[in-house]
Amino acid sequence: MPESLTLCMPGGTGFVGRHLADRLVALGHRLRIPTRHRERHKELLVLPAVELVETDLGDEAALRELLAGCDAVIHLVGILHEERPGDFRRVHVELPQRLLQAARECGVRRFLHMSALGADPAGPSQYLRSKGEGEEAVHRLADPRLPVTSFRPAVIFGPDDHFFNHFARLLRLAPVLPLPCPQARLAPVYVGDVVEAFVQALEDRRTFGQRYELCGPRAYTLEELVRYLAQVLGLRRRIWPLSDRLSRLQARILEHLPGRPFTLDNYRSLQRPSVCQGPFPEVFGIRPTPVEAVVPYYLGRQDQRALYDRLRSQARHEY
């Protein structure tokens, strides 16, 4: 492949996509990022070599226009709950297949697919089942001219993440936090490590056709993570671990609120441990970053952040 690639990145306006876009642009690649709402993501245009295209990924002609001239597709689109019935199927099962087929017709030579840890056509939630079906489908459709690699990360953390920022908002809101599924097990993975794996996989032939689980170095219960976060935020809060029955009840109520902050489907996803079967894939040579090394930096109290800034700038001077 040429050194500077043209990459099409559906889902590139999201949390992972923005981190990945920064890194890919710094490496000299050109990005074409489709979005439903160009106005909302204008900050991406500040990056040189980023083309933000308002388009409807449901439209076959628009899909081909988007992919024409691209060397690779990095497919990141994903949802945690449906706005309309059938969204999980449309977004996680049909879209990746349509993208892959259109990519092949447009002569694209590489396809990176974002799945999720626990994705499984027989999984406990619609989210995990649809992610599993989508992943199976793209690997079935792949061929040597368009090799696919899938990534199955645990919950991802880093600046602007959805996970720690969500709980930080709840902790700031009230003195008591009723916590659903407190014993759910998770091994959060740092967004910088996920980005690095994608970047390396782009051109490393050893990764062609592979599926990689990506986790951080340690597993926690959800309750441990939220207690740790309260400490980082410097907040004295009562965390109320809900029983299974109350967790389900909470999901039934919250899924009717605007934005659907917690749904029965999310509850069902949490029934399966989000923990990898082995260490971070050796092929990437990455030592995964612990939660404790990063979260205080972007969510800690001002004084902690200032300390981190000082330490970082000292470290820069020492090298």
Ligand X SMILES: NC(=O)c1ccc[n+]([C@@H]2O[C@H](COP(=O)([O-])OP(=O)(O)OC[C@H]3O[C@@H](n4cnc5c(N)ncnc54)[C@H](OP(=O)(O)O)[C@@H]3O)[C@@H](O)[C@H]2O)c1
- Interface residues with ligand X (CB under 6 A) are 11, 13-17, 35-37, 41, 57, 76-79, 91, 114, 116, 153, 155-156, 162-163
Residue type, 311: L
- Cα-Cα-Cα-Cα torsion 76, 212, 25, 65, nearest 10 degrees, comes to -40
Length of the chain as a residue count:
319
- Least distance to ligand X from the beta carbon of 292, Å? 18
Asked whether 36 and 12 are in contact (CB, 8 A), the reply is no
Burial of 6 (0-12, 13-18, 19+ CB in 10 A): middle
Q: Is the Cβ of residue 176 or residue 257 nearer to ligand X in the bound state?
A: 257
Burial class, 319, CB count within 10 angstroms (exposed 0-12 / middle 13-18 / buried 19+): exposed
Residue 20 or 301 having the CB closest to ligand X: 20
Residue number with CB closer to ligand X (86 or 144)? 86
57 or 276, CB closer to ligand X? Answer: 57
Q: Which two three-digit tokens encode residue 232?
A: 């980082």
Least distance (Å) between residue 317 CB and ligand X:
34
Q: How far is CA 75 from CA 171, 209, 260, in A?
A: 33, 15, 24
Which residue, 70 or 176, has its beta carbon nearer to ligand X?
70
Helix residue ranges per DSSP H, the chain: 15-26, 60-67, 87-88, 95-105, 126-141, 163-173, 191-203, 222-233, 244-254, 264-269, 295-299, 302-318
* Closer by beta carbon to ligand X, 130 or else 250: 130
C-alpha–C-alpha distance, residues 21 and 47, integer Å = 8
For ligand X, the closer CB: 78 or 182 = 78
**In the complex, minimum distance from the CB of residue 57 to ligand X, in angstroms, rounded to a whole number:** 5
Q: Minimum distance from CB of 298 to ligand X (Å)? A: 15
Q: How far is the CB of 203 from ligand X (least distance, A)?
A: 21
Half-sphere exposure (CA, 13 Å, Cβ side) for 8? 29
Rounded least distance, CB 83 to ligand X, Å: 8
Which residue has tokens 């970053």?
Answer: 289
Please report, to the nearest 10 degrees, the dihedral formed by the alpha carbons of residues 176, 182, 186, 191 taken in order: -20
- Least distance (Å) from ligand X to the CB of residue 16? 4
